[in-house]
Structure 1
């Protein structure tokens, strides 16, 4: 059966998937199923071809057969992971190779599918893995862009309101003035404080976070600003 590849440009929005399996029927079945859902699908008939395709382009997901004649799928998984620790790899296993699949999960596989698989469940898991990977990539790009613009590598923000906050942080960070940050619990006040500290003249000094909610009111002021020895004695 001749190899099949989706025409360039189709399925790009949903993701690009590489199927590596030595059985033509399995490759054809996965091609029909995944391309029918709008994915861009490339096929490889053996491990060597699969690794070659991975060198040539970036994939959102790799579906890798565990048992292949030219190289063991576990060995291929480890080689993929040595080159790329981010792209999700799902193993395709035959009945009786479940222990291998479990070993694969420990070696860095994201999931495994047992032949014969349930098409609906496979599609759900494929969508989940690709969505997770794309979100991770998006976060990396956002962090990179924010680091270039503000020097804040640990903050991810997209909204105009939050970008205005970061503009303000960049303005006040060089100042030696005391800065008050307010906001609801969980809104990132400590992240903002760390960003200010990291970009301030005091960046080479220690940053100390204090949980003021755990301190009684009479000790909060002395904890933050100090006190005269003996001032709390009777």
Structure 2
């Protein structure tokens, strides 16, 4: 199964950066700059991985995590932030307390290309190991 990545960040340059790297790793990628569009796109696209900016206008990453926690669909969320890493740790604790279907991984901006590739490859390997167990 081909991996599907949904990128939500209010910075178009970051979205395109992640898209280019992920497409080189054979991901199908969709990007969103407005968090108000996230829920509809999530349901329509059915991502296996989400790269999510933690601090955005309208709906922030914590609100997105809360919404994802209510879903029964397993998904890996990479929280990207240029702010204090404690914000990402708070989101991780929120997800752990509310959903067994979410895996949260924090990442600091600016994101190095080798770090991003490593995350993408590990997520792909994790998905393959889950498929082989079933």
Interval of TM-score (by shorter of Structure 1 and Structure 2): 0.7 to 0.9
Q: What is the root-mean-square deviation of aligned Cα atoms in Å?
A: 1.8
1:68 and 2:68 are equivalent in the alignment:
no
2:29 partner SS: strand
Which of 93, 118, 121 pairs up with 1:106? 93
Alpha-carbon contact 2:22-2:120 (below 8 Å) kept: no
Q: Return the TM-score normalized by structure 2.
A: 0.84
1:97 equivalent in structure 2: 84
CA separation in 1, counterparts of 2:132 and 2:47? 15
Give the corresponding residue for 1:27. Answer: 15
Unaligned runs of 5+ in 1: 1-11, 143-234
Shift of 1:79: 0.4
Distance 1:117 1:110 in 2: 16
Residue 58, structure 1, aligned to residue 46, structure 2: yes
Counterparts in 2 of 1:131 and 1:107: CA distance versus 1, 3 Å: farther
> CA contact under 8 A between 2:25 and 2:120: conserved in structure 1?
no
- Report how many residues are paired: 127
Q: Confirm or deny that 1:86 pairs with 2:74.
A: yes
Deviation at residue 33 of structure 1 after TM alignment: 1.5
1:92/1:84 CA distance change after superposition, 3 Å: farther
**Per-residue deviation, 1:85:** 5.2
TM-score, normalisation: structure 1? 0.50
Distance 2:65 2:48 in 1: 15
Q: Alpha-carbon deviation of 1:23? A: 0.7
Distance in 2 between the 1:52 and 1:124 partners? 28
**Is 1:126 paired with 2:120?**
yes
* Gap regions ≥5 residues in structure 2: 96-102
State the secondary structure of the residue aligned to 1:88. strand
TM superposition outliers: structure 1 runs of 4+ over 6 Å: none
Q: Please say if 1:136 is aligned against 2:127.
A: no
